[in-house]
Structure 1
């Protein structure tokens, strides 16, 4: 009896879950194409959503697509259709970052248990409390990163000081670059188009005090009724890293990042991402700890973890905008 192929309605639901992933400035740089006759789902980078000033190598786009791919895996596994994924399957087509096929009931995948967290995970730009994150939770998050072939390094106090300085340097660089300011403005505040980007109401408060490296997307622009707030003095920061620094590793980093974020969400933690300190190569390497294990040798994303208030999600494109179904394929 031939194996069943996942139906379009199921794949559409899984892609809908994939679109809930985080991405740089919430640009959502992904496109999907499903070929029902072959049972193959393609994931491509949407180059129209690239950021040549702040992400010239496409590293951030790959990380975002990797996070979306992980959500897809979780949703499919939860429905009983574990995904068989191939990363960068065609060297001649670098925008094709992954393909996935699905086999009904082919064993269990532990990631399926993360499904409830997909709709609950949001990036928070609010202050967190001073309550420390328990060591056992941090150990679990490290294990989540390892399960995806990456590493999670929780920073010590002296490393937090260094990260804060790096983030300040990055913010200063942005303020001096008209090109970078224009690119960020395209995706934030009034530039957000209602289905992508970061609207002004999601900027969070203006930092008044504290040492948490929170990116201020206002960049000096007036934001009516925006308040200021004190952030953490001793923030819990962690860095997702990979053994190498190739496009495949960036996709691995995205999957590890989302696995960590979903696990943290189920653990009751608030999370915040900061790519600012990693967007410039010279600053990025200042975050590299030579004592880190080889799985974390190349830093890919900075995370802030803690306990914060509930927040509203940022907008998402409709699944009909990102999924094409090729019904005519043989």
Structure 2
């Protein structure tokens, strides 16, 4: 028998922790509802970014990341969860139904829950310290639990990511719809959503692999003699809504694992929203064996890098629907 009062308390706390999940342009495009003893996750189409994310892949992946954060939070609060994906064929925005049973947390779940508090997207240059293969294997190992894979991109194949990232940036620079959307969702001050100006460094067009450029960047970058970033591509055998949702879970697990190892990280998805560039990465990096869903950059923060400002999130009340 589920103690519904205890579950309701855990639900609200877990939704607050799930809000720390990364999302495209920090749109936080999710809604939650507790129906008896089932937690339901819905995509919020009003927060869709049609220029940056035309097929809603980024929106659904964002919800997948929040779903994984929620499950980690529930676990540390004493609840084991099971997920039914896309439970309502008549409602494509109903992404998941989560059922729970009481269960004490395991050590790994406690470590991931602690990482939720510390993980932030670091878009600055990283330092020269190398990321070990042991760390890369630990991060990659979490993806198969979600029907995905995380493939390290060796230096010999990074040219494909570099070309795709620069082409995407060039196209977006000439796209007034994208620029207008970016101006609305970044360069913000004091907002609970969107990308704060204080979290974005100036564009680095000379970088081999470009990161997305945000409006009105105010974050100071760091001077470093070398940036030893590593890149991984999260990929799935299919390219449908379920695959996007599960890729978001894998991305969350990978990023939290990186944070637990004290590594810095950030997601890059800009070229993957363009079918021809995503297809090029699929062929040149993944040998047509899987579909790329997200690019992940990991590394060690540069010496002297200041702590990142905390990126605001919407309060739980703003994303919970009352049944």
User: Same fold, TM exceeding 0.5?
Assistant: yes
Determine the C-alpha separation between the residues in 2 that align with 1:258 and 1:314. 17
How far is 1:4 from its partner? 3.0
What is aligned with 2:180? Answer: 182
User: Is it true that 1:195 corresponds to 2:197 in the alignment?
Assistant: no
- Residue correspondence of structure 1 range 59-138 to structure 2 within 5 A: 59-105=57-103, 110-138=108-136
Q: 1:229 to 1:173 in 2, by over 3 A?
A: farther
Structure 2 residues not aligned, in runs of 5+: none
- Asked if 2 retains the 8 angstrom alpha-carbon contact of 1:145 and 1:260, the reply is yes
Q: Give the secondary structure class of the aligned counterpart of 2:317.
A: helix
How far is 1:249 from its partner? 0.4
What is aligned with 2:155? Answer: 157
Q: Give the secondary structure class of the aligned counterpart of 1:119.
A: helix
Determine the C-alpha separation between the residues in 2 that align with 1:171 and 1:184. 12
Deviating more after overlay: 197-206 vs 103-112 = 103-112
Q: Give the secondary structure class of the aligned counterpart of 2:169.
A: helix
How far is 1:147 from its partner? 1.9
Q: Give the secondary structure class of the aligned counterpart of 1:189.
A: strand
Q: How many residues align?
A: 318
Matching residue within 291, 294, 299 for 1:298: 291
What is aligned with 2:261? Answer: 267
What is aligned with 2:34? Answer: 34
How far is 1:41 from its partner? 1.2
Alignment deviations for residues 40-99 of structure 1 (CA, whole Å, 9 cap, x no partner): 111101111001122121111110000000001101111111112111000100011011
How far is 1:105 from its partner? 2.1
- Asked if 1 retains the 8 angstrom alpha-carbon contact of 2:164 and 2:271, the reply is yes
Matching residue within 167, 174, 187 for 1:169: 167
- Asked if 2 retains the 8 angstrom alpha-carbon contact of 1:15 and 1:72, the reply is yes
Determine the C-alpha separation between the residues in 1 that align with 2:222 and 2:298. 20
- TM-score, normalization: structure 1? 0.89
Q: Give the secondary structure class of the aligned counterpart of 2:296.
A: strand
Q: Give the secondary structure class of the aligned counterpart of 2:142.
A: helix
- Asked if 1 retains the 8 angstrom alpha-carbon contact of 2:15 and 2:316, the reply is yes
Q: Give the secondary structure class of the aligned counterpart of 1:44.
A: strand
Q: Give the secondary structure class of the aligned counterpart of 1:83.
A: strand
Determine the C-alpha separation between the residues in 1 that align with 2:180 and 2:223. 27
Determine the C-alpha separation between the residues in 1 that align with 2:269 and 2:224. 21
Q: Give the secondary structure class of the aligned counterpart of 1:241.
A: strand
Q: Give the secondary structure class of the aligned counterpart of 2:193.
A: coil
What is aligned with 2:139? Answer: 141
How far is 1:232 from its partner? 4.9
Determine the C-alpha separation between the residues in 2 that align with 1:27 and 1:171. 20
- Residue correspondence of structure 1 range 14-53 to structure 2 within 5 A: 14-35=14-35, 38-53=36-51
Structure 1 residues not aligned, in runs of 5+: none
Determine the C-alpha separation between the residues in 2 that align with 1:231 and 1:59. 36
Matching residue within 213, 217, 239 for 2:214: 217
Alignment deviations for residues 199-256 of structure 1 (CA, whole Å, 9 cap, x no partner): 11111244275424222213xxx65796685685553111000110010000110000
How far is 1:148 from its partner? 1.8
Alignment deviations for residues 112-133 of structure 1 (CA, whole Å, 9 cap, x no partner): 5411000111001111012110
Alignment deviations for residues 261-310 of structure 1 (CA, whole Å, 9 cap, x no partner): 0000001100011111211111111211567489x701000111001143
